[in-house]
Amino acid sequence: MTQYPVHVAFPGRLIMVGFGSIGQGVLPLILRHVGMQADQITIVTADEAGAKVAAEFGVRHVRHPLTRENFRNVLDPLVGRGDFLLNLSVDVSSVALIQLCWEKGALYLDTCIEPWPGGYTDPTVAPARRTNYALRETALALRETMKRAPTAVLTHGANPGLVSHLVKQALLNVAADTGVDGKEPNSREEWAALAHKLGVKVIHIAERDTQVAATPKEPGEFVNTWSVDGFVGEGMQPAELGWGSHEKNWQRDGKKHDFGRGSAIYLMQPGAATRVRTWTPMAGHFHGFLITHGESISISDYLTVRKGEQVLYRPTVHYAYHPCDSAVLSVHELAGRNWEVQERKRIMMHEITKGVDELGVLLAGHKKNAYWYGSQLSIQEARQLAPHNSATSLQVTVSALAGMIWAIENPNSGVVEPDEMDYKRVLEICRPYLGLVVGEYTDWHPLVGRGRLFPEDLDETDPWQFKNVRVV
């Protein structure tokens, strides 16, 4: 029998809000690597999904959808001092749950900042207020309400989450390979100075999912390798990206926020309707969706170099996502339905027959052009490593586990983003579950092969202008 390391003991109760594909995948990892018993865990979820998995591990499963009106009454008897609330839900406000946890003295982690229903798609809400930028600003504002509070980790899945730690390791790798000397950074300012010194202009969260299933997508069905509701919700938000200091070509549909830290912009169209050019080692160059994600905003903010109010340096940061082919077809159908989600939803899991989820960070603009660093995880490896996971879900669940362990080890840190955590500790926990962890340089840039068939309006003075990256 395989012996798994217990990274930390936890004597409190664990309350899991939501139990979809990520909840079902993280539960066995928690019971492996956190010193606790199944009877310490309660699942609160909106439906019967995962009830069999909960029963398999002897965990209490409560079906009770949480709303703005009832969440306090439902959670009040379940959450107390020294407990942990793991929020893996959709349509349950992260800010509301953090406030509840702080009142109770409990720890908290989510994989994205969730609003109450309609927060992503309500047409009566201005686009600027439906962005992840706005959600982040609201969550970070909690820091002003309590100077010393239980740890609440924001957005710690694969991405956002794991990728922020991959960025730090990638920066160190590029520094070593380009002869940039100096000690390892230990502050936000030092990490930003390193990225600036290296000349990193662009960071793509570049992901290509090639998993396929024996059952093809049917008309009127949205198929994905992780939460359909989560993907649809973020795909229908405005496209967002951290806006770099090197950018010379403003986007015709680009908008700035009139509040907050100013590290990102948004476009006046959904992320699922916006495509960008990127590269990964296995896939080569491809088109991905510019789906809004928290890391696009937090990484660009974290790596900003300022002199007073003036921004001296900031990289352009955004997600570039090619989901599995069934999900691409699903998005195409969704757009054709004027963003009315399909009647049926299916998360691919046991029917997946082959494929790899290649997820990493592409750092570009430095002396060696571009460097991708990340995880290449196949469905076969994922199944061998952990039950109830696909290649996509395992990259998320192990990162949620690592964030949970870090929070238990650092229980009085207040609101924390992935960029502010110990990247070495997180990667140490995650590495055994990431398949091949690869670093590879490439000569590719977004002008390669362009204009061969049709003339294009390109900025040939700098290949890493977003104007060249965006597909128009």
pTM (whole model) above 0.85: yes
How many other C-beta atoms lie within 10 A of the C-beta of residue 134?
Answer: 24
Mean pLDDT of the region 183-207: 97
The predicted structure's pLDDT at residue 121? 78
Number of domains into which the chain is organized: 2
CATH number at residue 209: 3.30.360.30
- Rounded CA-CA distance 357/283 in Å is 10
Task: Give residue-wise pLDDT tens across range 271-317.
Answer: 999 999 999 999 999 999 999 999 999 999 999 999 999 999 999 99
352-354 and 14-17 as β-strands: parallel, antiparallel, unpaired?
Answer: unpaired
The predicted structure's pLDDT at residue 280? 98
231 and 109, same domain (yes or no): no
142 and 39, same domain (yes or no): yes
The predicted structure's pLDDT at residue 183? 85
116 and 257, same domain (yes or no): no
Task: List the one residue out of 471, 411, 402, 468 whose CA is nearest residue 432.
Answer: 402
Boundary of a domain, candidates 153, 188, 207: 153
Mean pLDDT of the region 16-39: 98
Task: Give residue-wise pLDDT tens across range 372-422.
Answer: 999 999 999 999 999 999 999 999 999 999 999 999 999 999 999 999 999
Full residue range of the structural domain in which residue 359 is found: 162-390+426-471
- Rounded CA-CA distance 217/328 in Å is 10
Q: Which two tokens stand for residue 406?
A: 């870090």
Mean pLDDT of the region 342-357: 97
**Look-up: residue for tokens 């969550």?**
139
Task: List the one residue out of 239, 211, 235, 207 whose CA is nearest residue 347.
Answer: 211
Question: Contact at 8 Å (CB) between 386 and 394?
Answer: yes
Task: Give residue-wise pLDDT tens across range 69-111.
Answer: 999 999 999 999 999 999 999 999 999 999 999 999 999 999 9
65 and 142, same domain (yes or no): yes
Question: Contact at 8 Å (CB) between 280 and 207?
Answer: yes
Query: Do the domain assignments include residue 312?
Result: yes
Query: Do the domain assignments include residue 413?
Result: no
105 and 200, same domain (yes or no): no
Mean pLDDT of the chain: 97
pLDDT band at 327 (very low <50, low <70, confident <90, very high): very high
145 and 241, same domain (yes or no): no
The predicted structure's pLDDT at residue 1? 63
Q: Could you give phi then psi for residue 34, rounded to 5 degrees?
A: -115, 130
The predicted structure's pLDDT at residue 385? 98
